[in-house]
Amino acid sequence: DHSRAIAGYAVNLGAPSALQTALVLRQAIWRKAEPGWHVCGIPAVFYTDHGSDFTSRHMEQAAADLGMRLVFSLPGQPRGRGKVERYMDMINQMFLAGLPGYAPCGTRDRAGQARLSLAELDAALGTFIVKVYNNRVHSETGKPPQGRWEAGGFLPRLSESLEQLDLLLLTVAKPRKIHPDGIRFQGLRYLDPVLAAYVGESVIIRYDPRDLAEIRVFHRGRFLDRKSVV
């Protein structure tokens, strides 16, 4: 909001979802491998509209775990969202319009005009953000977004590790009870000798909805172990 710098993005053909939002936040928060793209850190406030991908239980849990406050624009009062809309207009005018196969609204057989793969479009957008947008003088601030973000010696707040960030953003937390035959979840069973000492105890499991082969088990806030399906 202050710098107008872009911290993260994603290109995909899927419907908006909490997991897709979490993947974009993952890139936005963590340190970038690209030289010159220094924007990172856990936001103090995450300001969005009321899309289901932003108002989900998963996002509520992730925000609580990260210490990030969710703020939603009021219906009919989209104050602040104009900054995002302006950026999207610029993407259309300065970036998309110059790509091979660009087909504006009204073009017949728009799908047939495609010339780039999804991966190529993703790479091109990343280059545009890092090389052009983040380093171009912004008309309102009078400074390049990247330079404005770096000014003043700002120190971003980060997770201890990328693994910890993945745990908080990309996994879902559910309460479960440990039975003599392990932990039962979604028709699967997870068993390990370590769990024998906790039979009858309530635990929190964290799982990746894209891969249920493994869960992570926490007891009273303490990590116990990773469990694989049996």
How many CB atoms are located within 10 Å of the residue 148 CB?
19
- Residue 155 DSSP code: -
* Res 227: pLDDT: 66
* Res 79: pLDDT: 65
* Res 2: pLDDT: 87
133-139: long-range contacts at Cβ-Cβ below 8 A with a sequence spacing of 24 or more? 133/6, 133/87, 133/90, 134/5, 134/6, 134/36, 134/37, 134/39, 135/36, 138/4
Q: Which residue bears the tokens 């980060």?
A: 158
Distance CA 125, CA 114 (A): 16
Pick from 76, 93, 80, 78: which is nearest to 45 by CA?
80
* Res 157: pLDDT: 93
Please name the amino acid found at residue 193. Answer: P
* Contact in structure between 178 and 200 (CB atoms under 8 Å): yes
C-alpha pair distances (Å), 197 with each of 28, 71, 182: 40, 42, 11
* Res 15: pLDDT: 83
Contacts of 30 (CB under 8 A, 6+ apart): 40, 158, 159, 162, 165
Query: pLDDT tens track of the chain, all 230 residues?
Result: 889 999 999 888 888 888 888 989 999 999 998 888 999 999 999 988 888 888 888 889 899 999 999 988 877 766 666 777 788 888 888 898 889 888 877 788 777 788 888 899 999 999 999 999 999 999 889 999 999 999 977 889 999 999 899 988 888 888 999 999 889 998 888 888 888 889 999 999 988 877 888 898 998 888 887 767 76
Please name the amino acid found at residue 158. Answer: L
